[in-house]
A and B are shown apart, each in its own frame.
Chain A
Amino acid sequence: MATTTTATTTKLWGGGKSPFNVEYGKLMMWYFLMSDAFTFGAFLISYGTIRFSTNGWPDPNEVFKSFPFAPEGVNAPLVFVSIMTFILIISSVTMVLAVHAGHNMDKKGVVKNLIWTIIGGLAFLGCQAWEWTHLHHEGAWWGSNPFLNADGTASSTNFTNYFFTITGFHGFHVFSGVIINIVMLIMTLMDKFEQRGHYLMIEKAGLYWHFVDLVWVFVFTCFYLV
């Protein structure tokens, strides 16, 4: 009876037990990631719409066929990007392991796996930097597209514009993810989480990092595979 009277005085949730049973920051991270998913979704859907509205499109196997340190004119489509994909998947796995170690209050495990995650993120960024530089040398950039359509007709700059915008936006997410992970590593080394008694911050950083991996799954499929 008492609870019904308090419920009628205010229509807002008055605190107490979280209805979602997760910590506030983690819930907000989820909602941020949802909004970020809409941003990336808008980019990718826009890319798809433009691609559907044009008759020709460059062949990704023709555009992304080079490999670092390989001789000029090497034909290795999909090879380099598969390495990038696996780097990101593995770094996601080490992040899960870091979160898992955090649950068990295992500081050593958190530090070790966070370092691996940071290395993976940096390796991915290095790969992307190489790819961008290489494409730029071939004459591809925003507003300039040296590649012909797959059927041999003249292409527009839509392809390069979308490629650099979307992979650039994703790369920036990876970059900020690496920064966040470095901050987490420093905080762990300073025993911040040991003092708090929990490693929930690692979980939030982990959510962000997995999201970056998730977006790459979509970017990779949309630009390199289909």
Chain B
Amino acid sequence: MSHSVGHEETHGGGTSEIKKVTIILSVLTIIELALGFWMIGMENKGLILAIKGAIIILMLAKAFYIVGYFMHLKHEIKNLIMTIVVPLALFIWFIIAFLADGNSFRNLRNTYDPYFKEQSTIKVEKKEHGSHGAAAGAHADSTHKSEGAVENKH
């Protein structure tokens, strides 16, 4: 035991803790999936946004349990926790900045780029998935038709 470089005292929990965290992770995943199933075919935009927010919170909770308990970070010395967690706090800024940037780019394009705006309003006829070769002809035909439909609308 003389070889082991001082990780004895940082032992946490043991098998009972592993069991507990496994159950927590499974339950969180099941809730996530249940929310995901609930969202299928939902029309209410506000509720969808709320559910997505809830799923992201559950995701962060899962991340906390994996890093804290499975990766044992919660039982390490506070200095070590800080050197890992503090740099990762940059992500808060990255996420806000980049998503806001993407959002602003979309708004600008919708305002100043009529082609971009138009492209996102034209409905394409649903094509069969996995259609190769033989169906390609029919494809060209259907896209042609949808173009015609757009022209008629104008």
Chain A proximity of B137: nearest CB distance (Å): 16
Given contacts A49-B98, A153-B120, 17 further A-B contacts (CB under 8 A): A17-B6, A20-B80, A22-B76, A45-B91, A50-B102, A53-B106, A97-B15, A137-B130, A139-B132, A198-B3, A206-B71, A214-B63, A217-B66, A218-B59, A225-B32, A225-B52, A226-B55
List B contacts of A23 (CB < 8 A): 5, 7
List B contacts of A175 (CB < 8 A): none
> What are 16 of the A-B contact pairs (CB < 8 Å)?
A21-B76, A22-B5, A22-B77, A22-B80, A45-B99, A52-B99, A53-B105, A56-B120, A77-B37, A93-B70, A152-B124, A153-B119, A213-B66, A221-B32, A221-B59, A225-B32
A154 touches B124 (CB 8 A): yes
Chain B proximity of A53: nearest CB distance (Å): 4
Known contacts: A30-B84, A48-B99. The answer to whether A21 contacts B25 by CB under 8 A is: no
Q: Write out, one digit per residue, whether chain A residues 193-211 have a CB within 8 A of any chain B CB (1) or not (0).
A: 0001110100100110011
User: What range describes how many residues of A lie at the interface?
Assistant: 35 or more
Task: Check A173 for interface membership: any CB of B closer than 8 A.
Answer: no
Interface residues of B in 77-130 (CB under 8 A from A): 77, 79-80, 83-84, 87-88, 91, 94-95, 98-99, 101-103, 105-106, 109-110, 116-117, 119-124, 126-127, 129-130
Spot the interface stretch: A82-90, A115-123, A162-170, A182-190.
Answer: A82-90
* Chain A interface main SS type: helix
Nearest-CB residue, chain B, relative to A55: B120
Q: A residues touching B (Cβ–Cβ < 8 Å)? A: 17-23, 27, 30-31, 34, 37, 41, 45-46, 48-56, 61, 77-78, 82, 85-86, 89, 92-93, 95-97, 100, 103, 137-139, 146-149, 151-154, 196-198, 200, 203, 206-207, 210-211, 213-214, 217-218, 221, 224-226
**The 8 nearest A-B residue pairs measured at CB:** A52-B102, A55-B120, A49-B102, A53-B102, A197-B3, A20-B80, A152-B123, A53-B105
B5 touches A152 (CB 8 A): no
* Chain B interface main SS type: helix
Chain B proximity of A16: nearest CB distance (Å): 12
Nearest-CB residue, chain B, relative to A78: B36
Cross-chain contact of B26 among A53, A86, A146, A154 (Cβ < 8 A)? A86
| Tally of B interface residues using CB under 8 Å | 67
Chain A proximity of B72: nearest CB distance (Å): 8
B7 touches A22 (CB 8 A): yes
List A contacts of B3 (CB < 8 A): 196-198
Q: Roughly how many angstroms separate A154 CA and B10 CA in the complex, as a whole number?
A: 55
List B contacts of A138 (CB < 8 A): 129-130
Task: Check B22 for interface membership: any CB of A closer than 8 A.
Answer: yes
List A contacts of B102 (CB < 8 A): 48-53
List B contacts of A151 (CB < 8 A): 123
Q: Roughly how many angstroms separate A23 CA and B7 CA in the complex, as a whole number?
A: 8
Interface residues of B in 47-82 (CB under 8 A from A): 52, 55-56, 59, 62-63, 66-67, 70-72, 76-77, 79-80
